[in-house]
Chain A
Amino acid sequence: MTIKEQQDAIIEDFSFFTDWTEKYEYIIQLGKDLPLIEEQYKRDENLIKGCQSRVWLHAEYKDGKIYFTADSDAVITKGLVSMVVRVLSGQSPKDIAEADLYFVDAIGLKSHLSPTRSNGLLAMLKQMKMYGMALKSREL
C-alpha cells in the first residue's frame, strides 16, 4: 500500500469510533500490539528524546525501502508511533522524505504533533524523514 492508502485506511478505522474512550482504547491496543524494537536497537543513539515520554526508532534499508521498528515507554505514544510506523515503514526513501502525514489531524490527534506536546512523536517523524532524505540522496 502507498503512504496515502495506509493513511486513508487508518482514517477509515477511526471513523467508526463515536467517542474519545473508544478512540484511545484502540490507540492503547495498538501500543500494546506494536512489535517491540529488538533489545539491541534500544540503545541511546536510537533514543529520540521527548520531554516526557521516550521513543526509540530503528531503521533498516533493504531493496530500496526503509523498514522501521520503534518503541516508547508510554503506551499512548507507542500507539501513535505504531500508526506512523505502519504508514511509513516499507516505503521508498523519496516517498518518506516527501510524505504529508495528514492522518494525524484527520483522526483528531493533531495536538500530538505540536512542538509543545513533548511526547517524542514529532521528533520521531523528523528523524524518519531525515533517514528518507539521507537515503534518497545516496540513491541519486
Chain B
Amino acid sequence: MTKRAVIPDPVLDIEQIRKDFPLLQTPVYGKPLVYLDNAATTQKPQVVLESLYNYYTRYNSNVHRGVHFLSQQATEAYEQARKKVAGFINARHEHEIIFTKGTTNSINLVASSFGKKFLQPGDEVLISAMEHHSNIVPWQMICEERGAALKVIPINEQGELRMEAFDELLTGKVKIVAVTYISNSLGTVNPIAEIINKAHAAGIPVLIDGAQAIQHVPIDVRELDADFFAFSGHKIYGPTGVGILYGKEEWLNEMPPYEGGGDMIKNVTFAKTTYNELPFKFEAGTPDIAGGIVLGTALDYVQQIGITAIRRAEEELIQYAYNRLSAISSLRFIGDAGHRSGAISFLVGDIHPFDMGEILDKQSIAVRTGHHCTQPVMDFFNIPGTVRASFAFYNTRSEVDLLVEGIEKAKRMLM
C-alpha cells in the first residue's frame, strides 16, 4: 500500500525548529523553559497561531448553512481541513473523519453509539490495564447501561500487554476491543497490528486510542485496518478543543447518532427526524470551526517537517534520555517496555513524585507528576504516581541534561 517515499529523512535542525514555537522562547522563573510535558499537551508553532488569527480576522462565519460569501469560505476551509486529516492518516473517505472535541469525546461517541446498537446483556468489551481513564470510563458506563461486562488485558512488570492473556480473553462474547497505541503513563508501544489482526480473525472490531501516537509515529488507518481511531488536535501541535474520530464507513453507517441538534439532520418534524449522512450525522451543533481549520494547519506543519523524521529524532532523544536517567542512582523506571515512545515515567528513591515535580518546577523544568489519569496502572505498580518526562521533536539533548541535573539537585534536597 505504502506511498511513502524511500528517500532518507533529512536530519532535523532542532535549533531552527524551536524558533517556530514562541512559547519555547518564553522564560519561566527567569530561566529558559525546559518543557517536558508534551504528552499532556504540545506547544504551538507560529503558523498555527497565525492560522487561528486569520480565521477570526478574515473569514469567521458559521459553516454548512449560509449562502453568503464568508460562510462559503469558512465551510470550504473547514472541509479542506477534514480532507487534510483524512490524508494524514490515509483514510479511504473524507466522510470517515468526524470532528469531535478530542480523544475523550471520540471514545465516548463510539462507546455510546456502538454500544447502544451492538451490546447486549452478557456481551463483553475488551480494554487493557494501561488505558487512560478516558478509554475505561466510557466503556464502563455503556457496559452498565447494556448489561455487558468489561474485560481487561493485563500487563506485565515491564508495563507491556500480556498477549497470551489477550488471546484467551478474545472470546465470542467480545463485541469490541479498545486499546491504546501508546501508553500515556508508561510510554509502552502496543502491538496494535497484531491485536487488530487477531480481533478481526474473530470478527471483532477494534478502536485504537491514538492520543499518544498521532504526534510520534506515522499512522495509516488502512494499513492498520483499524475500525476506529481517536486522537486530539492539541497533542499534535494544534489547538485544544478539537479532535478526530476516524471510523470505517460501514461501522459509522450502522451506528445511531450520538447527539441531536443542528447539522446532523436531514428533516425534522415533531413526528420523525431523519438523520444526515456521514460525517454530519455525528456532528451536531456548530462545531469548533476555527479548531478544525487550525488542526489542518498543524498537520500541514508536521507533514512539512515529516513524521518519519520526527519519529527518528524523538527515538534518538528518548534513547539518550533513557541512558542518562539510567545512570542516576536510586532512579527506577516505571514501565520498561522494549518498545517505547513519547514518555518516560520514573521514581527516585522514596521521593514522592509531587515533591520531585515541585523542585523540578522551581528549576524551570516542566514535567507531569501523579497518576496521569491511569489509576489502575499505579495500583498495579503499587505507587501513588510517577514523575513523567514526555518529549517532542523540539526537545534537545541539553534539555535532557538539565533534567538530569535537576533530578540530582532534587535528590540532594529531598533525600
Quick check: is B92 within 8 A (CB to CB) of the other chain? no
> Is the beta-carbon distance between A119 and B354 smaller than 8 angstroms?
yes
Q: Which of A3-11, A70-78, A90-98, A126-134 contacts B (4 or more CB under 8 A)?
A: A70-78
A7 and B29 CA atoms in complex are apart in Å by: 26
> Is the beta-carbon distance between A52 and B385 smaller than 8 angstroms?
yes
A25 and B409 CA atoms in complex are apart in Å by: 11
Contact flag A51-B370 (CB < 8 Å), given A25-B413, A74-B354, A77-B354: yes
Q: Which interface class (under 10, 10 to 19, 20 to 34, 35 or more) fits B?
A: 10 to 19
Q: Which of B225-233, B286-294, B355-363 contacts A (4 or more CB under 8 A)?
A: B355-363
A75 contacts across to B, CB distance below 8 A: 352, 355, 414
> Is the beta-carbon distance between B352 and A24 smaller than 8 angstroms?
no
> Is the beta-carbon distance between B352 and A21 smaller than 8 angstroms?
no
Name the residue on A nearest B357 (C-beta). Answer: A52
A21 and B409 CA atoms in complex are apart in Å by: 10
> Is the beta-carbon distance between A53 and B352 smaller than 8 angstroms?
yes
The smallest C-beta distance from A61 to any residue of chain B, in angstroms, reads 31
Q: Interface centre among A20, A21, A52, A73, by most B CB within 10 Å?
A: A52
The smallest C-beta distance from A14 to any residue of chain B, in angstroms, reads 15
A24 contacts across to B, CB distance below 8 A: 358-359, 362, 413
> Is the beta-carbon distance between A73 and B359 smaller than 8 angstroms?
no
Contact flag A76-B362 (CB < 8 Å), given A25-B413, A52-B370, A52-B385: no
Name the residue on B nearest A79 (C-beta). Answer: B355
B369 contacts across to A, CB distance below 8 A: 52
Mark contacts of B374-415 with chain A using CB atoms, 8 A cut-off: 1 yes-contact digit, 0 otherwise.
000000000011000000000000000000000001000110
A54 and B384 CA atoms in complex are apart in Å by: 9
A52 and B361 CA atoms in complex are apart in Å by: 15
B413 contacts across to A, CB distance below 8 A: 21, 24-25, 28
Quick check: is B159 within 8 A (CB to CB) of the other chain? no
B409 contacts across to A, CB distance below 8 A: 21
B358 contacts across to A, CB distance below 8 A: 24, 76
A53 contacts across to B, CB distance below 8 A: 352, 354, 384
Q: Interface centre among A51, A53, A54, A77, by most B CB within 10 Å?
A: A53
Mark contacts of B313-334 with chain A using CB atoms, 8 A cut-off: 1 yes-contact digit, 0 otherwise.
0000000000000000000000
The smallest C-beta distance from A9 to any residue of chain B, in angstroms, reads 24
The smallest C-beta distance from A78 to any residue of chain B, in angstroms, reads 9
Quick check: is B205 within 8 A (CB to CB) of the other chain? no
Give how many A residues have a beta carbon under 8 Å from the other chain's beta carbons. 15
A100 and B76 CA atoms in complex are apart in Å by: 57
The smallest C-beta distance from A71 to any residue of chain B, in angstroms, reads 12
Quick check: is B279 within 8 A (CB to CB) of the other chain? no
Q: Interface centre among B359, B385, B413, by most A CB within 10 Å?
A: B413
A95 and B274 CA atoms in complex are apart in Å by: 65
B359 contacts across to A, CB distance below 8 A: 24, 76
B29, B353, B362, B414: the one contacting A52 at CB < 8 Å is B353
B29 contacts across to A, CB distance below 8 A: 20
A74 and B354 CA atoms in complex are apart in Å by: 7
A20, A51, A74, A119: the one contacting B362 at CB < 8 Å is A20
A21 and B359 CA atoms in complex are apart in Å by: 9
A108 and B225 CA atoms in complex are apart in Å by: 54
A119 contacts across to B, CB distance below 8 A: 354
B414 contacts across to A, CB distance below 8 A: 28, 75
B384 contacts across to A, CB distance below 8 A: 52-54, 73
A54 contacts across to B, CB distance below 8 A: 384
Mark contacts of A1-34 with chain B using CB atoms, 8 A cut-off: 1 yes-contact digit, 0 otherwise.
0000000000000000000110011001000000
A77 contacts across to B, CB distance below 8 A: 354-355
A42 and B127 CA atoms in complex are apart in Å by: 35
A1 and B21 CA atoms in complex are apart in Å by: 53
The smallest C-beta distance from A108 to any residue of chain B, in angstroms, reads 11
- CB within 8 Å of B: which of A28-46? 28
A53 and B29 CA atoms in complex are apart in Å by: 24
Name the residue on A nearest B370 (C-beta). Answer: A52
- CB within 8 Å of A: which of B222-273? none
Mark contacts of A88-130 with chain B using CB atoms, 8 A cut-off: 1 yes-contact digit, 0 otherwise.
0000000000000000000000000000000100000000000
The smallest C-beta distance from B202 to any residue of chain A, in angstroms, reads 40
Q: Which 5 pairs from chain A and chain B are nearest by CB?
A: A74-B352, A74-B354, A53-B354, A52-B354, A52-B370
Q: Show the binding face of B for A, using Cβ within 8 Å.
A: 29, 352-355, 358-359, 362, 369-370, 384-385, 409, 413-414
A sample of 14 cross-chain residue pairs with beta-carbon separation below 8 angstroms, ordered by A number, consists of A20-B362, A21-B362, A21-B409, A24-B359, A24-B362, A28-B355, A28-B413, A28-B414, A73-B352, A74-B352, A74-B354, A76-B359, A77-B354, A119-B354
Apart from A51-B370, A76-B354, 7 more pairs, CB < 8 Å = A21-B409, A21-B413, A53-B352, A73-B352, A74-B355, A75-B414, A76-B355
